[in-house]
Amino acid sequence: MIVAANQLLFSYGTLQHPDVQLDTFGRLLTGEDDVLPGFTLDYAEIEDPRVVDLSGTAVHPIVRTTGSHRDKIVGKVFWVSEDELEASDEYEVALYRRIAVVLASGRDAWVYVGN
Range of the domain at 21: 7-114
- CATH code where residue 72 lies: 3.10.490.10
Report in angstroms the alpha-carbon separations of 53 from 33, 50, 68, 83, 113: 27, 5, 35, 23, 21
Residue 5: what pLDDT?
Answer: 74
Tell me the pLDDT tens digit for each residue of 27-37. Answer: 999 999 999 99
Q: Is the pLDDT of residue 1 over 60?
A: no
Q: What number is the average pLDDT over the span 1-23?
A: 88
Cα Rg of the chain (Å, integer): 13
Question: CA-CA distance, 2 to 31, in Å (whole number)?
Answer: 16
With respect to residue 34, please indicate whether it lies within any of the assigned structural domains. Answer: yes
Overall number of domains in the chain: 1
Tell me the pLDDT tens digit for each residue of 19-77. Answer: 999 999 999 999 999 999 999 999 999 998 999 998 999 999 999 999 898 999 999 99
**Residue 24's closest CA among 91, 105, 72, 79?**
91
CB 81 within 8 A of CB 6: yes
With respect to residue 94, please indicate whether it lies within any of the assigned structural domains. Answer: yes
Q: What number is the average pLDDT over the span 82-104?
A: 95
For the entire predicted model, the pTM comes to 0.90
Residue 81: what pLDDT?
Answer: 95
With respect to residue 1, please indicate whether it lies within any of the assigned structural domains. Answer: no
Q: Alpha carbon 87 to chain centroid distance?
A: 12
Name the strand (E) or helix (H) holding 100: strand 96-102
With respect to residue 2, please indicate whether it lies within any of the assigned structural domains. Answer: no
Q: Is the pLDDT of residue 3 over 90?
A: no
